[in-house]
Amino acid sequence: MLTAMNYNIYFENALIAGRKPVLAPAVINQVLEAVADAAVAETEFLLGENQKDLDRMDPSDPKYDRLKLTASHIQDIANDIRSVAKLKSPLGDVITEYDRPNGLHISKIRVPLGVVGVIYEARPNVTFDVFALCFKTGNICILKGGSDADASNRAIISVIYDVLKKNNINVHTVTLLPVERAATEALLNAIGYVDVLIPRGSQSLINFVRNNSKVPVIETGAGIVHTYFDASADLEKGTEIILNAKTRRVSVCNALDCLIIHASRITDLPSIAKPLAAKGVEIFADEQAYIALEGHYPEKLLHEANPEHFGTEFLSLKMAVKTVDSFEEALGHIAEYSSKHSEAILSENAGNIEIFLNTVDAAAVYANASTAFTDGAQFGLGAEIGISTQKLHARGPMGLQELTSYKWVVKGNGQTRNP
Name the CATH architecture for the domain at 225-373: 3-Layer(aba) Sandwich (3.40)
pLDDT of residue 418: 87
Task: List pLDDT tens digits, range 89-123.
Answer: 999 999 999 999 999 999 999 999 999 999 998 88
Separation of alpha carbons 134 and 140, rounded Å: 6
Separation of alpha carbons 303 and 112, rounded Å: 50
pLDDT of residue 2: 44
Task: List pLDDT tens digits, range 171-192.
Answer: 999 999 999 999 999 999 999 9
Task: List pLDDT tens digits, range 187-216.
Answer: 999 999 999 999 987 778 888 999 999 999
- Looking at every residue in the chain, the average pLDDT score rounds to 93
The answer to whether the beta carbons of residues 126 and 200 sit under 8 Å apart is yes
Task: List pLDDT tens digits, range 210-250.
Answer: 999 999 999 886 789 999 999 999 999 999 999 999 999 88
> Is residue 34's pLDDT more than 60?
yes
Separation of alpha carbons 399 and 134, rounded Å: 9
Residues of the chain with CATH 3.40.605.10: 22-220+385-411
Collapse the DSSP code of 262 into the 3-class scheme (helix H, G, I; strand E, B; otherwise coil) and give the result.
strand
Q: Which of 163-167, 290-294, 339-343 has the lowest mean pLDDT?
A: 339-343
Separation of alpha carbons 124 and 68, rounded Å: 8
**What does the angle CA 363 – CA 36 – CA 143 come to, to the nearest 5 degrees?**
55
pLDDT of residue 419: 81
> Is residue 1's pLDDT more than 50?
no
Instruction: Give the total residue count for the chain.
Output: 419
Residue 137 half-sphere exposure toward CB, CA atoms < 13 A: 33
Separation of alpha carbons 51 and 69, rounded Å: 8
Per the model's pLDDT, the better-predicted residue between 223 and 298 turns out to be 298
Q: What secondary structure does DSSP assign to 385-415, as a single string?
A: S-EE-SSSS--EE--TGGGEEEEEEEE-SS-
> Which H or E element spans position 285?
strand 282-285
Q: How far is CA 315 from the centre of its chain?
A: 14
What average pLDDT does this structure show over 139-164? 97
> Is residue 316's pLDDT more than 80?
yes
Query: Is beta strand 256-262 parallel, antiparallel or unpaired with respect to 302-304?
Result: unpaired
Task: List pLDDT tens digits, range 54-74.
Answer: 999 999 887 888 899 999 999
Q: Residue 272 contacts by C-beta under 8 Å, 6 or more apart in sequence?
A: 229, 235, 238, 239, 242, 259, 261
Separation of alpha carbons 69 and 249, rounded Å: 14
Q: Which of 146-155, 194-203, 275-284, 332-341 has the lowest mean pLDDT?
A: 194-203
pLDDT of residue 77: 95
Q: How far is CA 223 from the centre of its chain?
A: 10
Residues of the chain with CATH 3.40.309.10: 225-373
> Is residue 3's pLDDT more than 70?
no
Tell the CATH topology of 22-220+385-411: Aldehyde Dehydrogenase; Chain A, domain 1 (3.40.605)
* Share of residues in the chain with pLDDT > 90 (%): 82
Q: Residue 156 contacts by C-beta under 8 Å, 6 or more apart in sequence?
A: 39, 46, 124, 127, 128
Q: Residue 273 contacts by C-beta under 8 Å, 6 or more apart in sequence?
A: 281, 283, 293, 296, 297
